[in-house]
Amino acid sequence: MKTSKVPEATILRLAVYSRYLEQAERQGVETISSVAIADGTGVTSAQVRKDLAYFGEFGTRGVGYNVVDLGGHIDRILGLDRTWPVVLVGAGKLGSALALYEGFLIRGFHIVGVFDIDPDPIGKRFGSIVVLPVDRLEEVIKKRGAKIGIITVPASAAQEVGERLVAAGVKAILNFSPHVLSLPEDILVRHVDFSLHMEVITFNLTIEEKKKENGSKAHRR
């Protein structure tokens, strides 16, 4: 019983297709080809068709895909055909930004609880919800049935927070702290580290520079 045979890259692309289809739908497009989706999302048309083929046949040969239809299918595949209650621990700068992040709301991710250990931010409002002390974490997770948690606490507190989330019934965690969580295998953890992106950038910029240096060196002799 493996988790699935679908590449993660495919899932990420499906999410991108979904956004593109929403846009096409807003523009009143009714039918769309794999080439059009590919152009709009920066992949190849064969890739689009292969990705969709993992889940069924959604198009009509000689015609293309019905935009609304395909969008619905993809959203169902991704689990976006419903709302997901999410709890967030760590009401610092980043936590506050995420609690109010519209991208989450639009896609059905509802922040139903924001928590902090520090008494300072407790009582603050983020939209309709109020920052609570971490003591009430378990209570809220259970009452709201949250299966997803977001961690935006400092590295030192991350592991403990992760364990409490799991103990209270959370099945998946989006971790923005720099600490690498060690949690049971069946818990889905995704680690977001902005510096990692920056480092890919600086690696490439550094290569560019080296190339230029070598170029001028070759020229010189």
Partner DNA sequence: GACTGTGAAGCCATTCACAGCT
Partner DNA sequence: AGCTGTGAATGGCTTCACAGTC
According to CB under 7 A, which residues from 58 to 97 bind DNA?
A: 58-65
Calculate the CA 164 to chain-centre distance: 22
Q: What is the DSSP letter of 117?
A: S
Q: HSE on the CB side for 205, CA within 13 Å?
A: 6
**58 belongs to the binding site for its own copies (CB under 8 A):** no
Read off the tokens for 111. Answer: 């922040």
Nearer to its own copies, 7 or 60 (CB): 7
Comparing CB distances to DNA, the nearer of 4 and 214 is 4
Check binding of 202 to its own copies (CB under 8 A): yes
The structure tokens 């400092």 sit at: 154
The maximal CA–CA distance of the chain, rounded, in angstroms, is: 74
Q: 34 touches which of DNA, its own copies, none (CB within 5 to 8 A by kind)? A: DNA
Q: Does 152 bind DNA (CB under 7 A)?
A: no
> Would you tell me how many other CB atoms lie within 10 Å of the CB of residue 25?
15
Query: Does residue 180 touch its own copies according to CB under 8 A?
Result: yes
Which run of H or of E encompasses 129?
Answer: strand 129-133
Residue 50 interacts with DNA (CB under 7 A)? yes
Q: Token pair of 2, please?
A: 């493996």
Stretch that binds DNA, among 29-37, 78-86, 91-99, 139-147 (CB under 7 A): 29-37
| Contacting residues toward DNA, per CB under 7 A | 5, 7-10, 32-35, 43-47, 49-50, 52-53, 57-65
